[in-house]
Chains A and B, each alone.
Chain A
Amino acid sequence: MAAGVVWVALKGHPLGVTRHHCSVGGPMGMLRAVCPHGPPWYPRVRYGTPWVPIPSPHRSLRFHPRSAPSHSAGAMVVLRAGLCPGLTEEMIQLLRANNIRTVVDFVSSDLEDVAQSCSLSYKLGPAAGCGAVHWGGDGAGRSTGQRKDTGVPQHCGQRVPRPQAARLLPRLHRGVHCLPTLPDAPGPGGGQGGAGLAIMMQLARELKTLAKEFSVAVVVTNQVTRDSSTGALKSALGRSWSFVPSTRVLLQGRAVPWEDGAAPHTACLAKSPRQPTGMQVQLDIGSDAVQEQRPVTPTP
C-alpha cells in the first residue's frame, strides 16, 4: 500500500486553493486598490497588502527585501568603498578603526557617536548607511534582478542550488509546480550544527519564495510514518518540516490491492489555511488519468 502526503492541492479542486490567483475583482482586486505605489526600494509586501511607507529620517534603511543579501552573505556584507556615494576608502578606514566593519555593525551603532569619533559629516554618515544597505546584489556581487537563460528548465527531479531557483521561473508555466519525493534529509545528527536540517529548511524557504513571489502552487510529495507513542499517521521528515506546508492532503490507497471493490483511493484534507479539515474525496486511478468521484463522508 502506498500512502503519501502531498503538499498544496490543485487549483480548482474542491480541496484546493482557488481564489489565490485571481487578479480582477473579488477580494484581491479590492485589496490592490488600497495600496499606493511607492518606490521599489521601500520595504513592502506584494499581493495588495497595505504598503509600508517608511519615512526617511536619518536612521531609515531603504532596501528591497528581495535584494537584501542571503542569510550567509548578510552577516558578512563588509563595508567597502563605492558601495554608495560618499563612502570613500578613507571613511572605511575610519569606521574600521572604530570596529565598524559590516553593514550590520553600521546600522546597529549609534550614529552620533560614529560621526563624532570618525569625524564624519553627520549628513554624510546616514546617507552612507542608507546607501550601503540599498545594495542591488545578493551580497556576493550578483544582481538578483537578472534572469539568466538557463536552457532546459531543471525543476523536476533535481536539487536546485540556492541562487538559481529564482531564475527558472520565467520558463515555467504559471500554475502548478511539482517536485518528486523530497530528498532524504538527515536529522540534527551528531551535535554539530544540524547541517542536513539547515539544507532542508533552506530548500523549504526557496520553495515558499517561489510560490509567493511568482504565484505558483508548489506541490511536494512526502511519505508518512506512524507516531511511535500515539500510533497516529504523521508526515515524514520530522517536526521542522511539518511547519512548512500550508496545505496537506493525505492520499491513501487500497488496503488489498488484488481485490476489486476494495477500499478505493481517497484524498483527505489534513491541513488547510482556509478550509475545515477532514474533507475527503474518492479518487479513481484508472489507466488514463485520475478521476475524482463524489466526496465521501469523512471518517472521524
Chain B
Amino acid sequence: MVESYSSDLLARLEGRSSLKNLEPNLFAEEGSPVHGDVIEFHGPEGTGKTEMLYHLVARCIIPKSGGGLEVEVMFIDTDYHFDMLRLVTILEHRLEQSTEEMMKRCLGRLFLVNCNSSTQLLLTLYSLENMFCTHPSLCLLILDSISAFYWIDRSNGGESLNSQEMNLKKCANFLEKLVREHHLVLFATTQSIMQKSTNSAEGFFPLKLQSEIDADYRPYLCKSWQQMVTHRIFFSKQFNSGNSTGFTLVSCHLKKKHVAKRSFSIAECGVQF
C-alpha cells in the first residue's frame, strides 16, 4: 500500500515538473507554468486561442523522443469547436515519423469530452475526478471555452444574478479544487463578448500596464472564476501590412503584474513564434 502510494506520488511529481518547457513564450517572466496555475485565454473570434490550445496539446502528447513532454491532457469542449483533423495535421507536421502507430500513441494521451450545458459541465467535472486519480501523468486540463453558456445561464437564471451565476460558480469552485488537489495546470478560453467599459478607471491593471494591453477587456464571468485566474493572456490579430496570419498575445501574471507581449503566426504546422 505504502509502495503504491509513494510511486503514485513520485509519478505525479514527475508529471508536474515535466510541464517545464510547455511554452515559454506564454509566460511573462518565469517561463513555465507552476502546478495550480489557472491561465485564461481571452480575445475576439479568430485570434488564435484554439490554435494555441492545439499547440499546447501537441507539445504535451508528443513523446519525449519527438521533442514533446509525453504527458496526458484532458480537453473539455463546450461548443463543438474541437477539430480532430486539425490536431492530426499539426501532429503530422511535428513528428518526424508520423506513422499510424506513433499517432495512436500520441492520441492515446488525449482525453476529449463534450459538454452541452453548464449543468452538464458540472456533472462532467465531478465524474472526471477519478480520471485524475487514476492517471498521474494527466496534468493539463483544458476548457474551451468556459464562457460558452453565459447567455443561456443568464436567461435561465431569471432576475437573480446569484442564480444566473450559480452553475458557473460551482464549476469554478470545483475546478479550483481539482487543480489544487491533483496539481494540475488549467487553461481556459473566454470569448470577448462584451465591449470594453468606457470607465477605464476600473482598476484591473495599473496604468503602466494599461497602455501595453490594448485589449477590449471587460470581465463578465462570476467572481469565483475571476479570483482563481493566475494568468490572463489577451489575443488579437495584427492588422499591419496585410499579413493575414499575424497575431499578438499579451501575457499578464496577475499577482506579480508582469506583462509580456509576443507575436506569432499560424501555419500548417500550427502556432509559430
Contact = CB atoms under 8 A, between A and B. Distances in A.
Contact of A30 (B89, B103, B191): B103
A79 B10 CA distance: 41
B210 interface: no
B192 A239 contact: yes
Given A20-B85, A68-B120, A202-B152, A59 B126 contact: yes
B155 A198 contact: yes
A240 B244 CA distance: 22
A274 B85 contact: yes
B130 A55 contact: yes
Contact of A68 (B44, B111, B123, B153): B123
A63 B154 CA distance: 25
Contacts of B124: 43
A292 to B, nearest CB: 22
A205 B116 contact: yes
Contacts of B13: none
B156 interface: yes
Interface residues of A, number: 64
Interface in B104-156: 104, 107-108, 110-120, 122-124, 126-131, 134, 149, 151-156
Interface residues of B, number: 62
Nearest to A46: B114
A60 B123 contact: no
Given A68-B120, A192-B159, A50 B110 contact: yes
Contacts of A88: none
B123 A211 contact: no
B134 A71 contact: no
Interface in A33-92: 33-34, 43, 45, 47-50, 52, 54-55, 57, 59-63, 65, 68-72, 74-75
Contacts of B126: 59, 61, 107-108
A57 B130 contact: yes
Given A198-B152, A274-B85, A277-B244, A243 B191 contact: yes
A244 B193 CA distance: 12
Interface string B58-102: 000000000000000000000111011110110000000000100
A168 interface: no
B242 interface: yes
A49 B84 contact: yes
Interface string B147-181: 00101111111110000101100100010000000
Interface string A274-300: 101110000000000000000000001
A49 B104 CA distance: 10
Contacts of A30: 100, 103-104
A18 B273 CA distance: 29
A193 B155 contact: yes
A276 B265 CA distance: 11
**Which of B79, B120, B151, B164 lies at the interface centre, i.e. has the most chain A CB atoms within 10 A of its CB?**
B151
A274 B83 contact: yes
A223 interface: no
A208 B80 contact: yes
B31 interface: no
A246 to B, nearest CB: 7
A74 B252 CA distance: 36
Contacts of A233: none
A61 B100 CA distance: 33
B24 interface: no
A240 B123 contact: no
A194 B119 contact: no
15 contacts: A20-B85, A30-B103, A31-B84, A33-B104, A50-B108, A54-B130, A59-B130, A68-B116, A68-B120, A72-B156, A208-B80, A242-B46, A244-B79, A273-B86, A274-B83
Closest 10 CB pairs of A and B: A300-B242, A198-B155, A74-B119, A71-B117, A61-B127, A208-B80, A197-B151, A242-B45, A243-B45, A198-B151
